[in-house]
Structure 1
Amino acid sequence: MRSTRTSAAPRRGRRTVLAATGLVAALALTATACDGSADSASDKPDATTSQAADGGGKVQIPAELAGKLKEHGIDADRWKDGGWKDWDKDKWLSDAKDFVNPVIEGLWKPDRMQSAKEADKTVTTKDASAGQGVSDPDPAPVRAQAEKTPYHRNAAPVGKVFFDSPEGPAVCSGTVVRDVNHPGKSNLVWTAGHCVHAGGSGGWYRNITFVPAYNDYGKSEAELTNANPTEIAPYGNWWADWASTSNQWIQGGSETGGEGAAYDYAVLHVKPERGSKSLEETVGAALDVDFSAPSAAEARKMGAWGYPAAPPYNGLKMFKCVDVPGRFSLSPTLPTMHRIGCTMTGGSSGGGWFRVRNGKSVLVSNTSIGPADNTWLAGPQLGRDAETLYQNMSKTYGGR
């Protein structure tokens, strides 16, 4: 399988449950539902409008971002006018302190979103055998099931992460997560490290944007031709004004996951292109993150949600898999990862994994890597290192 390298206030109404049921238990994500009277497109933000423009329509790059670009010999005006397309190694910012992602008005239009491709993270037989003796037997494939529509009622916290790479527009999946230091007002999105940074061979990707509940009604490519923008991006586009991933991924991440695979997670702090409410308030839901790194026995079942984009999928619809997790390792010297059977392909990377804890669904991992035959997915255990990254993100950028 391959995995990729990424308003209106919440309205009162009945609560609906997104559930993938097994024979014994159900794994559920809950989202605040909209009542029938609040479902019109006029109640949702215009996904094509940016607050980054002045009265004359010219995009403004904040002074601090322009200053960071200048430090690297990059002209801010040229950057927004297309200079970001220069992927020369001297222009490809790589260190954690170098992340810059100024809003470029109108860049992520619906047709450009549809053109975004998955960027594979495929594990070979040789890679998988490296952890022999640590990994559990390969799980049986679990066929991905389509999520119910509309997504804003059934899986509002789940969405797509769009970004630009040297190969062109690319796509991952992501999840709105709670900000423990700013309850009820989170602007944090959980995804994979390889959805924001190329790892040891490159730097930060560019124009990173999150679209929750993308393609809200699961329309086909033909139907999307004349779709209302709010059906494609019901809660608008949310640009990452900061991203954090692990040092292990930045230094050791590779095309097959590499030594960074067990640390392949990232947190985005986002801001709306339009409006002032937080992401959590706008979407109406966010998931807690579980950093206890539960064992397979403790977790019992895990579910992965995402937007697979590689064949036989096309990235337009949300899918899910639920399975009993096992252990997977690329090396005895690395932490073991979670693994479940799942047929989702590239594009699902970064999508959240959930388990039930104390009666509530919590995020416990994200899709990272998988085999070329698309039979299973593996994701990192979220332990102390992941919690430290999350807390630093929350304390430094949360609440903005």
Structure 2
Amino acid sequence: MSSSGRTTRSARAVLGASVLALTLLGTSACGPDNSSADSAAVAGAPDLGLPSNLDDLKKWKFEDWEKWAKDYALPAATKGFWTLEKLLQAKPDEPIAPPAPQPAGTQAPAPAQPSPPGPATSAPGTKPPAGQPTQPGHPTTPAAPKASGTQQPASQAPAPPKQPSQPPVAPQQPSQAPAQPPAQPGQPSAQPAQPPAQPADNGNDPLPKTVNAQPLQHPYTKLAVHGKLFADAPGAGPAAAAGLNHAQCSATVVADPAHPGKSNLVWTAGHCVHQGKGGSFYSNITFIPAFNSNAALSGGKQADESQYAPFGIWGATQAVTSPQWKAEGGKTGDAATHYDFAIVRVKPADGAKSLEETVGGAVPVWFNAPRDQLSISEYGYPAAPPYDGMELNRCESGKPGRLSYEPTRPPMLVIGCTMTAGSSGGGWLAVKDGKPALVSNVSVGKHTGDPMYQAGPYLDDVAAGAYDFLSKKG
């Protein structure tokens, strides 16, 4: 399962050298994920007309997605809406916080009722009530329970930045299923055949070691597929009361199979663009590739748009997220986090080149990627202390582990990384056929204590269906 040191070094060298010099690859699956997710029920299905289980959802055709995703069209942000003042006021989105670990000697909670995690860096006293939509920029950001051995900061800026949602804490010592006596030769089994049991560890591996994020060298011309995503969410959370209803996340330019070489698609987290259960898409969703590439805003400096947005400011006109996020999302650490992703289409200026042509490349998306073949490099713009959101950072995190809120769904990918709020939605890249490919995005994160880690959705056929739908709608 583990790759050789030589292969890992080679893979990381490919990622770090030049993400821009990408050859567009067709979307393909390489080995299905060996999980028991196919029989998982989709909560909220009756209200949205969703199939009763994930197996059926994975079989959706374009027509099924079009019938269901009726709100994919978005009004583009008015030209000039995102002033520098608004960009600097935008709160970073937080990853979801993991639930508190179980006391020693107790069993993990039942899959149907996992301990909900909360936002990684929420200000004290700002937990949203149950059912209230989360704010943009945070992977799912419901109330944040305190994780064992970690404390929330005593004080924060008036409008705390959003962070990727934090995943549930994996059990330190997964419980083992009781051993069954072996059947005697020539005798029938002591028990009748039964469906495969859930893993004794509930889909969780030991937590990864902390990996320190490193700022990338300016300019970001060779990394221009990465950027910052901004959204407007009037009335969402305490920031609205202070007039600060803007949020910021991270995002990545991805290839468009229906428009080879001319993609206008961006990949991010579902909680960065949609409120989740009972909510709607945020407004004025905008992407700025290679934000602050020339360090024009670094160190508190001021600059004009041409300096901090060298490739322009791109307003979104379409977006789609998973049925699970729309039907269930918005609560800390629930099963919807396993499908916390979104694809956004931005619009070029009249007669202008596509986003891919403008930045010089786009990353293909690798669905159903074999976990044991992955070595993750995460990219994002963390904005909560000790970061300020002005610098593109990277975590070379290596092989991901498994982290699960719901054992009947594909376990999330989990890596060690110190990035904080604002990195939500940031792309996770791995090497496929010698080139970088996107395999996940920041959704959950724990940014205090040790270890510090983040988790992202495993992109299976549901993600591939949403991606194919938006590609063909352009």
TM over 0.5: yes
Whole-angstrom distance in 2 between the partners of 1:307 and 1:367: 11
Q: Which residue of 2 aligns with 1:276?
A: 352
Whole-angstrom distance in 2 between the partners of 1:347 and 1:169: 12
Tell me, yes or no, if structure 1 residue 333 matches structure 2 residue 408.
Answer: yes
Equivalent residue for 1:149, pick from 206, 215, 218: 218
Whole-angstrom distance in 2 between the partners of 1:151 and 1:372: 26
Equivalent residue for 1:306, pick from 380, 384, 400: 380
Whole-angstrom distance in 2 between the partners of 1:220 and 1:390: 34
More helix by share: 1
Larger Rg: 2
Whole-angstrom distance in 2 between the partners of 1:360 and 1:173: 21
Tell me, yes or no, if structure 1 residue 169 matches structure 2 residue 236.
Answer: no
Q: Secondary structure at the match of 2:80?
A: coil
Q: In the alignment, residue 97 of structure 1 is paired with which amino acid?
A: K
Q: In the alignment, residue 225 of structure 2 is paired with which amino acid?
A: P
Q: Which residue of 2 aligns with 1:386?
A: 463
Cα RMSD (Å): 2.2
Q: Which residue of 2 aligns with 1:116?
A: 90
Change (3 A) 1:313 1:274: farther
Whether the 8 Å CA contact 1:130–1:330 is kept in 2: the answer is no
Q: Which residue of 1 aligns with 2:187?
A: none
Whole-angstrom distance in 1 between the partners of 2:350 and 2:248: 22
Question: 1:138-178 CA deviation, whole Å, 9 max, x = no partner?
Answer: 111000000121012x3110001000122411001111111
Map residues 1-400 of structure 1 onto 2, 5 A cutoff: 25-26=11-12, 27-28=14-15, 29-32=18-21, 96-99=69-72, 100-120=74-94, 121-125=96-100, 126-127=115-116, 128-129=168-169, 133=201, 134-152=203-221, 154-165=222-233, 166=236, 167=239, 168-222=245-299, 224-225=301-302, 227-273=303-349, 276-295=352-371, 297-299=372-374, 301-323=375-397, 324-373=399-448, 375-397=452-474
Whether the 8 Å CA contact 2:170–2:207 is kept in 1: the answer is no
Percent identical across equivalent pairs?
44
Change (3 A) 1:274 1:302: same
Q: Which residue of 2 aligns with 1:90?
A: none
More strand by share: 1
Q: Which residue of 2 aligns with 1:50?
A: none
Whole-angstrom distance in 1 between the partners of 2:210 and 2:349: 40
* Unpaired runs of at least 5, structure 1: 1-20, 34-94
Whether the 8 Å CA contact 2:77–2:286 is kept in 1: the answer is no
Whole-angstrom distance in 2 between the partners of 1:124 and 1:372: 13
Task: Select between 175-184 and 366-375 the one with higher mean Cα deviation.
Answer: 366-375
- 1:129 to partner: Cα distance: 4.6
Question: 1:151-208 CA deviation, whole Å, 9 max, x = no partner?
Answer: 12x3110001000122411001111111112111111101111111011142211100
- 1:372 to partner: Cα distance: 4.6
Whether the 8 Å CA contact 1:256–1:369 is kept in 2: the answer is no
Tell me the number of residue pairs that the alignment of Structure 1 and Structure 2 aligns: 312
Q: Secondary structure at the match of 1:97?
A: coil
Whole-angstrom distance in 1 between the partners of 2:368 and 2:169: 27
Change (3 A) 1:342 1:315: same
- 1:292 to partner: Cα distance: 2.3
Runs (4+) off by over 6 Å? none
Whole-angstrom distance in 2 between the partners of 1:354 and 1:30: 10
- 1:220 to partner: Cα distance: 4.6
Q: In the alignment, residue 158 of structure 1 is paired with which amino acid?
A: H
Q: In the alignment, residue 149 of structure 1 is paired with which amino acid?
A: H
Change (3 A) 1:363 1:25: closer
Change (3 A) 1:130 1:140: closer
Change (3 A) 1:217 1:190: same
Change (3 A) 1:311 1:222: closer
Change (3 A) 1:274 1:232: farther
Q: Secondary structure at the match of 2:218?
A: coil
Q: Secondary structure at the match of 1:262?
A: helix
Q: In the alignment, residue 304 of structure 1 is paired with which amino acid?
A: E
Task: Select between 214-223 and 111-120 the one with higher mean Cα deviation.
Answer: 214-223
Whole-angstrom distance in 1 between the partners of 2:335 and 2:447: 19
Whether the 8 Å CA contact 2:292–2:298 is kept in 1: the answer is no
Q: In the alignment, residue 344 of structure 1 is paired with which amino acid?
A: M
Whether the 8 Å CA contact 2:441–2:457 is kept in 1: the answer is yes
Whole-angstrom distance in 2 between the partners of 1:285 and 1:306: 17
Whole-angstrom distance in 2 between the partners of 1:319 and 1:242: 27
Whether the 8 Å CA contact 1:237–1:272 is kept in 2: the answer is no
- 1:322 to partner: Cα distance: 1.3
- 1:252 to partner: Cα distance: 1.0
Q: Which residue of 2 aligns with 1:9?
A: none
